[in-house]
Amino acid sequence: MSAEDTIRDAARRVAGAGESSPRYARDPVNMPAIRNWTDAIGDTNPLYADPEFAARSVHGQPVAPPAMIQVWTMPGLGSEPNDGGRAPDPLGEMMTVLDHAGFTSVVATNCEQTYLRYLRHGEVLALRAALVDVTGPKQTALGPGWFVTTRNTWYSGDEPVASMDWRVLKFRPELGVTAGSGLPSPGPDQDPRLAPDPGSVMRPPHSPDTEFFWAGTAIGELRIQRCGSCGALRHPPGPACLDCGATEQQDYQVAAGTGSVYSYVVHRHPPVPGKQLPFVIALVELTEGVRILGELHGVSPDQVSIGLPVRVDFTRIDDELVLPGWREDTRVRPGSLPELVLDVTPTLIVSTATATRDFYPVHHDRDFAVRGGSKDIFLNILSTTGLVQRYVTDWAGPEAIVRSISIRLGAPCYAGDTLTFSGQVTENVTGGEHDEQVIVITGACSLGNHVTGTVRITTAARES
Amino acid sequence: MTDSPELRDPADSGPRAVRPGLRPVLAGLGLTELGKVYGRTPAQFAAEAVRLAVADAGLTLANVDGLLTSSGVTGGVSLDLQRELGLTDLRLLTHMQAYGSTAGSMVTYASLAVQSGMASVVACVFADSPLRPERGSGAIYGTRHAGSGWWGLLGASGVIGANPMYALAARRHMERYGTTSEQLGHIAVAQRAWAALNPAAQMREPITLADHQASRWIAEPFHLLDCCLVSNGGIAVLVTSAERAASMAQPPVHVLGWAQCHPGRYLRRNPDFGLVTGAATAGPAALAMAGVGVGDVDVAQLYDCYTFTVLVTLEDYGFCPKGEGGPFAASGVLGPGGKLMLNTGGGQLSGYYMWGMTPLSEAIIQARGHGGDRQSALHDIVLVSGNGGVLDHHATLVLGGPAAGP
């Protein structure tokens, strides 16, 4: 039997077994765990911590943050799962099969949580897991691999209260193979986004005409050539003024870094060194009037339009090269959420990892993380989910009910980085019993998008 | 696009300004095997193409006293071609490069040389050999410019090759005029139908609009079937005088008019990026030199690196009003049986990709009346366009069939 058949057979067997027997939470839903979590995440919603506020709310009593759902059934530090290790573990079984087939590395790519209702203090949860599907082998930017999707369902008694579709890529790492080296990329729903690899990015050569431009990007300035004689701007830079013809006294001015999309394309073929397909290239008309080309970050192909306000977004490739790109300027768009800028300190990473009961050492032990090839300790996924919830409810208000959080995971967010959340309301349904809103969020760090996703919330319908 | 009142009226400066015997004629055409022809260098293709063109005219290489060379993405054709062909004591020799408009520029330069008496038989040649077995054409063109000069920034931003640049232009046209991908698709479908009638075409299997829409995205809004082929091969033409051509082997194809326009507004604050090309200036000038109007054109060979290039230049030449290229293309006028004889060999989308030599070679075939199953009944006035860069360079030729001497 071929290795592929072995994997497919195992997938059929595990999926056919259906939902596993329950794994019970070690503790009931409780205030101390909630407080640790809200402190670490920075969520100040009084719904969780203020019993009087909670009593007046639609819930009538204190409830747990919905994004904590996975926390309750996490195993403790060094302890066995609370089922004595007897409950079947569909994800673990598939991981073992794929390990044996040589697909030894794993990266989580997607997490979709749906909350059927908020949890009250004292409830004891049980988790049942099932294998949804295993697809592959796929050629990905990380190497050949298989996508494994499992569905976790949490029960309170017999009542399902939340579910989570969890997708991981189990892959065989290929040394030296990076994005854009000719391999087909995984589809838009499933590519583990990588930071640009310094070795694969095409390096623009400098010339006397362009030196000032690259010196500018290196310190976060977008510099536009300006004629010292007549003041006209030109881009791309060149040896003379395009308006008066002066060849000397060519100077520059620092652009405001804002503009709008004048035209754009969605690049899908051929592969480009250092880029993940597809990506958006925008011809941006600067506020100052000249046009400049660059990659548009953080905007999905179906969300781009001519006229979209953008602002400059620098990407540091390495010590020598900083590339200018573009990002939607949500400050000037109606329906946009105010940005949240977080300093990702070691304290944030360690305290949130602990509060989400994720004791894997890469989230608290720097030496361990570095030995494994990471730059530093990095944010764990449960905390990312929590930060996404906090970002949206900070804006939507404490009474908003979070119905689902669906995120796609991207570049790791290391200690010392800055994580910037931005968001946009993309759907706004009013008129029913509840107003429903869909918010698309992006959490960007220096390596690119750490997380992108969608949060669905409802609020009590306003009196009209 | 440019206002140059100091220029002479084109009608007074072209071939009609000289005595009839010296007026320029295209007298020879040489096409090597074209397409997936591996293992040969551009210089080999170029030398063969010139030999074929000379033989086509019923001449020998000893009759050639002028040579204009041009090369494609792989280079390899140079002034050295003179020595490869054993040409001695040439009276005109230069290498030319204006990208897709080079063929028109070469014929113009050769015509000026012939009508001035500077040279009497000038060979103009293009050859390229970018295709390799087992290698995608996108990868070949994609790496062009990727690392050099200012293109370095574009490459680092993910802009490689011409596809994204033309797609940016097309997007502007779509935004302004409501042009759709389906309308572009009509051009691809029509040209494929023509290619089915052309034995030299690379892609002869008919396609439908649905095939166009289902072909994979390259750089949205372009599908694969919006983009030209990549070909190996070489094409040469001979320009001589009307009096010399009279004793040669082929029916004479008269060069009646020419013009160029190089807008030079690339990435500047021009409000018409993607909306207007140099054809809007070069077209009327070349037609005026020939003493005809766009309504007199029997056959049009418009440069087609992309379906969009055809659509926007149809407007610029005046085959339809500005902004209406999309509805015009979708109206059924294109393809065999349509009322506009356009890109009758399949063009570069389905025939072969020899830059400006593709429309020029099919124009000569049509003007001679040698088009076989795809021959236009009327072929007295043939319009040829060449487009280079990102709509940066444009050259127009107006050719006359044997009955249409100046």
Condensed to tens digits (0 to 9), the pLDDT of residues B129-149 reads 999 887 666 555 554 444 444
CB contact under 8 A, B148 and A283: no
pLDDT of residue A374: 86
List, in order, residues 6 or more apart from B377 with CB less than 8 Å away: none
Q: Where are the alpha helices (DSSP H) in B57-180?
A: 81-85, 102-116, 137-142, 151-156, 163-177
Helix %, strand %, coil % of chain A (to 5): 20, 35, 40
Are A264 and B168 within 8 A, CB to CB? yes
Contacts of A203 in chain B (CB under 8 A): 147, 152, 156
Q: Which of B141, B166, B303, B306 is catalytic?
A: B303
Summarize pLDDT for B230-286 with one digit per residue, the tens.
999 999 999 999 999 999 999 999 999 999 999 987 655 677 889 999 999 999 999
Chain A with chain B: Cβ pairs closer than 8 A: 117
Contact call for residues B376 and B341 (beta carbons, < 8 A) = yes
Q: What gap in Å lies between CA A31 and CA A54, rounded to an integer? A: 13
- DSSP designation for A203: P
CB-based contact A202 B142, cutoff 8 Å: no
> What single letter denotes the amino acid at residue A119?
L
B167 interface with A at CB cutoff 8 Å = yes
Check residue B92 and give its pLDDT. Answer: 98
- Among chain B residues, CA nearest to A271: B139
**Could you say which residues of chain A have pLDDT below 70?**
1, 79-87, 174-202, 331-334, 431, 460-464
B-chain residues near A304 (CB < 8 A): none
Amino acid at B324: E
The whole-angstrom separation of Cα A424 and Cα A426 is 6
| Closest CA–CA distance from residue B152 to any residue of chain A (Å) | 4
CA distance to partner chain B, nearest, from residue A149 (Å): 28
What secondary structure letter does DSSP report for A307? T
Q: What is the pLDDT of residue A174?
A: 64
> A51-90 burial, b for 16+ CB within 10 Å, e for fewer?
eeebeebeeeebbbbbbbbbbbbbbeeeeebbbeeebbbb
The CA distance from A234 to A224, in Å, is 7
Q: Do B152 and A242 touch (CB under 8 A)?
A: no
- Helix-then-strand count for chain A, H and E: 9, 18
Residues of chain B with pLDDT under 50: 1-2, 143-149
State the distance between the two ends of chain B, measured CA to CA, in whole angstroms: 28
CATH code matching the domain that covers B10-131+230-400, chosen among 1.25.40.10, 3.40.47.10, 3.10.129.10, 1.10.260.40: 3.40.47.10
Give the Cα separation of A335 and A73 in Å (integer).
36
Contacts with B164 from chain A: Cβ below 8 Å: 265, 267, 281
Angle separating helix axes B307-317 and B279-290, nearest 10 degrees: 50
From chain A, the residues in CB contact with B220 under 8 A are 265-268, 278, 301
Q: Which residues of B touch A294 (CB under 8 A)?
A: 157
- Say which of B141, B306, B317, B353 is annotated catalytic: B353
Q: List strands edge to edge, sheet with A143-156.
A: A23-24, A125-140, A143-156, A159-171, A105-115, A401-409, A448-460, A434-445, A418-429, A336-343
CA separation (Å) from B235 to A169, A434, B3, B156?
51, 70, 35, 35
Q: Is A450 exposed, middle or buried (0-12, 13-18, 19+ CB in 10 A)?
A: buried
Q: Is B303 a catalytic residue?
A: yes
- Mutation target for B interface from A181, A217, A263: give the one with most B CBs within 10 A: A263
Rg, C-alpha atoms of chain B: 20
What residues of chain A lie within 8 A of the CB of B168, using their CB? Answer: 263-265, 281, 283
Six-digit token string for A182: 């000719």
Residue A181 DSSP class: S
**CA of B2 to nearest chain A CA: how many angstroms apart?**
16
Instruction: Answer whether A352's CB lies under 8 Å from A388's CB.
Output: no
**C-alpha dihedral (A45, A48, A49, A50), degrees to nearest 10:** 90
Task: Give the integer Cα–Cα distance in Å for B204 and B341.
Answer: 18
Kindly list the residues from chain A whose CB atom is less than 8 angstroms away from the CB atom of residue B167: 265
Residue B341 distance to chain A (closest CA, Å): 32
| Residues 206-225, chain B, touching A (beta carbon < 8 A) | 216-222, 224
Q: Which of B150, B168, B216 sits opposite A263 (nearest CB)?
A: B168
Q: Which residues 268-297 on chain B approach chain A with CB closer than 8 angstroms?
A: 268-269, 273-274
Helices (H), ranges, B181-220: 181-195, 209-214
CA distance B49 to B71: 13
Contact yes or no for B154 and A293 at CB 8 A: yes
- Please tell me the distance from the alpha carbon of residue B395 to that of residue B383, in angstroms, as a whole number: 11
Q: Is A197 left (phi over 0), alpha (psi -120 to 50) or beta?
A: beta
**Selected residues 80-99 of chain B with any CB under 8 Å from a CB in chain A:** none
Amino acid, res. A414? Y
Plot region of B348 (φ>0 → left; ψ -120 to 50 → alpha; else → beta): alpha
Q: Do B171 and A237 touch (CB under 8 A)?
A: no
What torsion, rounded to 10 degrees, do the Cα atoms B285, B289, B290, B291 define? 100
Alpha carbons A268 and A273: distance in angstroms, whole number: 13
d(CA B400, CA B384) in angstroms, rounded, equals 11
CB contact under 8 A, B157 and A293: yes
Nearest to A171, CA basis, from A111, A110, A107: A107
Kindly compute the dihedral angle of the four CA atoms of residues A89, A95, A96, A101, in this order, to the nearest 10 degrees: 150
Could B152 and A205 be called an inter-chain contact, meaning their C-beta atoms sit closer than 8 Å? yes
Is A432 within 8 Å of A461 (Cβ atoms)? Answer: yes
Torsion of CA B213, B214, B215, B219, to 10 degrees: 60
Angle between helices A31-41 and A346-355 (to 10 degrees): 160
Q: At what angle do helices A381-396 and A346-355 cross, to 10 degrees?
A: 100
pLDDT of residue B162: 87
Q: Give the domains, in start order, of chain A with CATH numbers.
A: 1-29+64-177 (3.10.129.10), 211-332 (no CATH), 334-464 (3.10.129.10)
Q: Is the dihedral of CA A363, A367, A370, A376 positive or negative?
A: positive
Total Cβ atoms within 10 A of residue B103: 32
Q: Do A204 and B168 touch (CB under 8 A)?
A: no
Residue A138 pLDDT: 85
pTM listed for this prediction: 0.66
Helix (H) or strand (E) holding A41: helix A31-41
User: How distant is the Cα of A140 from the closest Cα of chain B, in angstroms?
Assistant: 19
Q: What's the pLDDT tens digit per position in A279-317?
A: 999 999 898 888 899 999 989 898 899 989 999 998 888
- CA A214, chain centre distance (Å): 29
Question: Measured between alpha carbons, how far is B400 from A195 in angstroms, rounded to an integer?
Answer: 59
Cβ A279–B158 below 8 Å, yes or no?
yes
For residue B264, what pLDDT is reported?
82
State which residue of chain A sits closest to B147, comparing Cα positions. A204
User: Taking the alpha carbons of B383, B387, B391, B396 in that order, is the dihedral positive or negative?
Assistant: negative
Calculate Rg over the CA atoms of chain A.
25
Task: Classify strands A223-227 and A233-234 as parallel, antiparallel or unpaired.
Answer: antiparallel
Query: What is the predicted pLDDT for the residue at A399?
Result: 85
Q: Which helix (H) or strand (E) covers residue A402, if one does?
A: strand A401-409
Given a contact cutoff of 8 angstroms between Cβ atoms, the answer to whether A161 and A192 are in contact is no
Contacts of A299 in chain B (CB under 8 A): none
* Annotation marks residue B352 as catalytic: no
Which residues on B lie below 8 Å from A290 (Cβ)? Answer: 268-269
